[in-house]
Amino acid sequence: MDSCFWLCNEYQETPLHYAARRGSKIIVFILLNNEANVNAIDKWKLTALEIAIKEGHTEVVELLMDKGAIYEFHYIRNQPTALHIAAETLYPNIVELLIKKGINVNIKDKLCVLTNK
Residue 21: what pLDDT?
A: 97
pLDDT, tens digit, 9 for 90 and up, residues 39-71:
998 888 899 999 999 999 999 999 999 999 987
Give me the chain's average pLDDT, please: 84
Q: Is the pLDDT of residue 79 over 90?
A: no
Domain 3-100 class in CATH: mainly alpha
Residue 100: what pLDDT?
A: 95
Q: What percentage of the chain carries pLDDT values higher than 70?
A: 78
Listed residue (61, 115, 62) closest to 88, CA to CA: 115
